[in-house]
Amino acid sequence: MANKILTIIAIVFLSIFFLLILLVGTLGIGRPISSFREGVAIVQVSGLLRDAQDIVRQIKNFGKEPHVKGIVVRIESPGGVVAPTQEIFEEIKEVRRKGKPVVASMGSIATSGGLYIALACDKIVANPGTLTGSIGVIMHFPILEKLLQKLGVGFETIKSDEYKDIGSPFRPMKPKERELLKEVVDDVYQEFLNRVKEERSIPWDKVKEIGDGRVFSGRKAKEFGLVDTLGGLETAIKIASEMAGIKGEPRIIQEKKILPFKLILNSLWAKLTTPVLLYLPY
């Protein structure tokens, strides 16, 4: 009897699982654009950035689509992991190299990695009260040693060399390890500063002054030269439309999609224990 109940539960669970996958496929993740009127595409960059695949794919597709004459990247993000942020940056630059204008629209927050992405665009638009800045790099390491000791759990580590388990959550960090990781952080930070200098044509001494991790408003960002125009999403759409040479009101183009099921199943353990470089304000 117990085995039959377990079998029924397993069948129900698997049925629900495959139904969700089917829904994800049929509701249109990344459907191709099918319209003939020229327009401006909007790509949403929202929340903590941990993966760039979906955003890069959208930018790439809109870059190839002949009816999309310009792209607005709407940023509502405090930043995130360095490498995905850099991938988005490079894809925006690639679209621009092919002659299609890209305008950044900062929402309520576009700090650190959010600002980094905006730097790749032809123009940056921010609200006066947008929270931006936080130019810098941070690396977090959870230390679970004392917690595991209380739980009576221990770990043995066999490694090929001294620094193979650098950043391990199962032991305190050694001074030399901290020094090595600080070198990594400083290297990535220097690259961030260089991006600000090159993309915004800001003198180096000014870049160093504003690149100390502080946050500031959109209005201040404009004074510093990090923002071109104060305004909202409509302002950014208008600028992109004008740069693209669209006559009259542009058609607004966005992908229709639902949250991918794989995001729901993201590993919490990986987020807690994997050391990553972050463009974040904290």
Instruction: Provide the annotated active-site residues.
Output: 112, 164
| DSSP-assigned states of every residue in the chain | -HHHHHHHHHHHHHHHHHHHHHHHHHTTTTPPP---S-EEEEEEEES-B---HHHHHHHHHHHH-TTEEEEEEEEEE--EEHHHHHHHHHHHHHHHHTT--EEEEEEEEEETHHHHHHTTSSEEEE-TT-EEE----EE-----HHHHHHHT-------SSTTTTTT-TTSPPPHHHHHHHHHHHHHHHHHHHHHHHHHHT--HHHHHHH-SS-EEEHHHHHHHTS-SEE--HHHHHHHHHHHHT--SSPEEE-------HHHHT--HHHHHH---EEE---
